[in-house]
């Protein structure tokens, strides 16, 4: 099939939506399809249209449906779609969700958070990550620090500086250092990061890193903190699980939907003291860290490229069945 994948993130962007679109392009091409990734849609013909982001892609989805009412349409739901835009912009967001033949959710609790009438066309797809290889392993005893990483753009939804704030509450003899890798969403977030650098000796801001540097940061870290207040299913969780890196995560649906209800590394979202307590426990209790490491290592099998490709294949097959005209 000729497939168009629409993402709001431009070429070269390190935004999650762009990485997802380009990864899906590779996986779909492995299935034998011809795939174009675009940031704008002007009515071009295709056999199937896959839009990332229900709200941001509303105009394109509407145009596609008006020109090609019988062709299959898949809409992938982001965290802001599910946890913000369907409430703030219901007309546009719900339109995209309603006219889609298939909805893709990126964690297994999305069905609890969308209208019941739409759940029958929802499939869960866990984003994949490659297993790290060829990186230098740091021996913990060689470091003066107990390194904790935070990976993702600096923005409100990510609550990016929560781990840095929690580190301020740790005992004076703590060796914890928080390293944040990501691009600020705007000038305000750049200012906040610079202020934190000046005021918090336990904090490093590394800026936006290349993929290889992100992988090395994970290898060099004892823990990853996933502090988001809303998530559609963050790919960095997949990457950490595949790397065997223990995760401390806020207890939101987007994290629980990836790590499972029985995961031991949660803290109440937005609770700085609770996060500080978990970090202090991790530093002082190697057994606790090993329990988390064992859990993420067991979860790694759900985040393989093979499983993600099968989920994409399932989404396409379901869209073709639901579409009024089966093009095969």
Residue 113: the pLDDT is 95
Q: For residue 105, which of 120, 87, 123 has the smallest C-alpha distance?
A: 123
Rounded average pLDDT per 10-residue block, the chain, 328 residues: 90 74 96 96 97 96 97 96 95 97 97 96 96 60 85 94 98 97 94 95 94 93 96 94 97 97 98 98 97 98 97 96 59
Residue 131: the pLDDT is 84
Residue 328: the pLDDT is 38
Q: What is the DSSP letter of 78?
A: P
Q: Please, are residues 78 and 53 in contact by the beta-carbon 8 Å criterion?
A: yes
Tokens encoding 26? 């590779």
Q: Please, are residues 278 and 248 in contact by the beta-carbon 8 Å criterion?
A: yes
Query: Integer distance in angstroms from the first to the last C-alpha of the chain?
Result: 9
Q: Helix 235-243 to helix 16-30 angle, to the nearest 10 degrees? A: 70
Residue 326: the pLDDT is 45
3-state helix, strand, coil in the chain (%, to 5): 45, 15, 35
- Residues in the chain, how many? 328
Residue 18: the pLDDT is 84
Cα 11 to Cα 7, 48, 146, 214, 311, distances in angstroms: 10, 21, 36, 19, 25
Say how far apart CA 169 and CA 163 lie, in whole Å: 10
Where do the domains of the chain lie, and which CATH numbers do they carry?
2-127+304-322 (3.40.50.2000), 140-303 (3.40.50.2000)
Taking CB atoms within 8 Å and a gap of at least 24, the contacts of 302-305 are 302/126, 302/241, 303/126, 303/127, 303/128, 303/129, 303/238, 303/241, 303/242, 304/128, 304/242, 305/27, 305/128, 305/130
Residue 136 C-alpha from the chain's centroid? 25
Give the sign of the dihedral formed by CA 262, CA 265, CA 269, CA 275: positive
Under 8 Å CB-to-CB from 289, ≥6 apart: which residues? 222, 223, 246, 282
């Amino acid at each position: 099939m000729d497939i168009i994948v629409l993402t709001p993130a431009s070429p070269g962007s390190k935004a999650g939506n762009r990485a997802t679109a380009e990864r899906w392009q590779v996986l779909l091409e492995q299935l034998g399809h011809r795939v174009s990734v675009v940031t704008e849609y002007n009515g071009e013909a295709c056999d199937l249209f896959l839009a990332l982001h229900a709200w941001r892609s509303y105009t394109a989805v509407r145009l596609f449906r008006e020109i090609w009412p019988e062709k299959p349409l898949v809409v992938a739901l982001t965290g802001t779609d599910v946890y913000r835009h369907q409430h703030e912009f219901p007309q546009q967001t719900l339109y995209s969700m309603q006219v889609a033949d298939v909805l893709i959710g990126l964690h297994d609790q999305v069905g609890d958070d969308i209208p019941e009438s739409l759940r029958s066309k929802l499939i869960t797809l866990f984003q994949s990550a490659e297993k790290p290889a060829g990186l230098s392993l740091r021996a913990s005893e060689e470091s003066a620090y107990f390194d904790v990483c935070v990976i993702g753009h600096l923005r409100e939804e990510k609550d990016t500086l929560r781990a840095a704030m929690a580190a301020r509450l740790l005992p004076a003899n703590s060796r914890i250092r928080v390293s944040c890798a990501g691009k600020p969403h705007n000038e305000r977030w750049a200012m906040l990061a610079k202020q934190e650098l000046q005021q918090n000796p336990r904090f490093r801001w590394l800026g936006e890193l290349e993929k290889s540097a992100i992988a090395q940061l994970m290898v060099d870290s004892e823990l990853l903190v996933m502090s988001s207040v809303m998530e559609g299913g963050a790919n960095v969780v997949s990457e950490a699980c595949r790397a065997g890196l223990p995760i401390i995560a806020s207890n939101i649906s987007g994290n629980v939907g990836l790590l499972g209800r029985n995961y031991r590394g949660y803290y109440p979202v937005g609770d700085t003291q609770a996060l500080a307590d978990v970090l202090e426990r991790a530093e002082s209790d190697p057994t606790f860290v090993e329990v988390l490491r064992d859990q993420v290592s067991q979860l790694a099998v759900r985040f393989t490229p093979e499983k993600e490709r099968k989920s994409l294949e399932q989404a396409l097959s379901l869209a073709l069945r639901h579409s009024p005209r089966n093009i095969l």
